[in-house]
Structure 1
Amino acid sequence: MMVTEMQKKSPDLQSVDELMTATFSRRRQEIIGDEPLVADVINRWPALFSERQIEAEFKRIVTTSLFQSFLDGLDHLVPRLLEVYKAAVLSGKKQALKGILDCLEKDNTNERKRTAALLGLPHYLSEDPADVIRICDAHGETLDVAMKGMQVGLLIGHEGALQDAFPWDIFSVAVVVEETIVLHYYKLKDVACSFAMLMGIIYCVNLEYPQAMKYSFEFLQRVVMKVKPDQASARIHGLRNKLLKYKL
């Protein structure tokens, strides 16, 4: 019934909501027990890969709001994160952060500060985001080339030459799993909201955090979203304490 409904041009969203709720336990059993490829999950549960259903599924799993927990937690930490980044640059360490911070001199809106905080996190934690967060010209290289090697991550599209560490005007953001775009629409231009959706999809499809950025994702989970914060690793616990003690 759900697959049939999703084949319609305008599915009955309330009906899909009810069907997704009714099949939750079966879906979790399949996803956790069988560990299917994401392509198989898309074919089997096509309704799952929408912002509406990812939010709903995350709440079924974690019993908290995806966007509220992510954005509220992030906004609370952004000023401290940016100050810690600045201190690291001034000390001569983490020079990769300088280009990200320089972007805020042209535009320091809340959205841009969120973006800088998120894109700077792996650099501060000495991680390599190259295969997890990629920025590409929306009208340049093909998507297959842009996504090559991406197991879990975000593809940030912009138009024209990239002059700064991250784009002034973001064209769209796609969530990628196993070199496949699982969520992509032109309204998704906000990097912070895209990160929230990525976290939601990781929970919904029971994915492991990419090794290249495992501490960054752990920070988002334990510190930003406060999901089982007492289980944070020593490295993340140390950063959390540093941020909480940092005087603005």
Structure 2
Amino acid sequence: MEAEMRKKDPDHQFVEDLMVATFSQRRKEIVGDQPLIAEVLSRWPALFNERQIKAEFKRIVNTDLLQSFLDGLDSLVPRLLELYKSAARSGKKQALKCILDCLVRDDTNERRRAAALLGLPQYISGEDPANVIRICDAHVEILEEDMKGMQLGLLIGCESGEPDAIPREVFDVAVVVEETIVLHNIKDVVVAFSLLMGVIYCMKS
């Protein structure tokens, strides 16, 4: 599996067959030994791509990751946005107002989903949003500083300059675990959140 993943164009069906065959061993190692993410990356490199995170989630719970995430999110979006509006009106959550203002300019379903997700760390009292979500210049090659202190979250790469609270031009979203990028080249913020949940589930369940 490691040799196959080192190829420029790995055989995805071959990798899938290997991942299925080693599923029980992998779950025993990850759940039982609770290794650091660097060890998991080294031991199971095939796990950390969008295709295999979705596949591993389905192997664990027999449910489609993205669809189940979107179904749950859509049921919560209206209530979350109302909570954000109330908090923004109090004057204590300026960042939430910036997110909501983006919806005034472009109120699509996709943007409402992104607003609900990006607003959560801003809304939760006592939580530093930068611990979970950081927006950075997509063209900066050295990311160590951007990831510093981030134990679990998303690094959203946008065009240089002052980004919108809900980024319009997303070049790359990376899933970060223990200050390490484990998954990247994601072009959609909502999909990135679902994959973050998938990574959490695959590492803990």
User: Do these two structures clear the TM 0.5 threshold for a shared fold by scoring above it?
Assistant: yes
The percent of aligned pairs where both chains have the same amino acid is 69
1:106-125 counterparts in 2 under 5 A?
106-125=105-124
2:13 paired residue number? 14
- Any idea what SS the aligned residue of 2:131 has? coil
The alignment yields a C-alpha RMSD, in angstroms, of: 1.8
Question: TM-score if structure 1 supplies the norm length?
Answer: 0.77
1:213 paired residue number? none
On the 8 A contact 2:121/2:132 being kept in 1, the answer is no
Query: Unpaired segments of 5 or more residues in structure 1?
Result: 208-248
Cα deviation digits, residues 34-88 of structure 1 (max 9, x gap): 2212111111111101111101111122221110110121122212221222133
- Any idea what SS the aligned residue of 1:157 has? strand
- Which one-letter code corresponds to 1:196 in the other structure? S
1:121-160 counterparts in 2 under 5 A?
121-126=120-125, 127-140=127-140, 142-160=142-160
On the 8 A contact 1:135/1:166 being kept in 2, the answer is no
Kindly indicate whether residue 175 of structure 2 is the aligned counterpart of residue 175 of structure 1.
yes
2:192 paired residue number? 194
1:84 paired residue number? 83
On the 8 A contact 1:111/1:190 being kept in 2, the answer is no
Cα deviation digits, residues 79-108 of structure 1 (max 9, x gap): 222122213323445343111101112222
Paired with 1:56 and 1:180, the residues of 2 have a C-alpha distance of: 22
Cα deviation digits, residues 129-162 of structure 1 (max 9, x gap): 2122101111247201111111111000111211
- Any idea what SS the aligned residue of 1:168 has? coil
- Which one-letter code corresponds to 2:144 in the other structure? D
Paired with 2:116 and 2:191, the residues of 1 have a C-alpha distance of: 13
Paired with 2:33 and 2:163, the residues of 1 have a C-alpha distance of: 45
On the 8 A contact 1:150/1:177 being kept in 2, the answer is yes
Change (3 A) 1:23 1:128: same
Paired with 2:121 and 2:163, the residues of 1 have a C-alpha distance of: 21
- Any idea what SS the aligned residue of 1:10 has? coil
Kindly indicate whether residue 29 of structure 2 is the aligned counterpart of residue 30 of structure 1.
yes
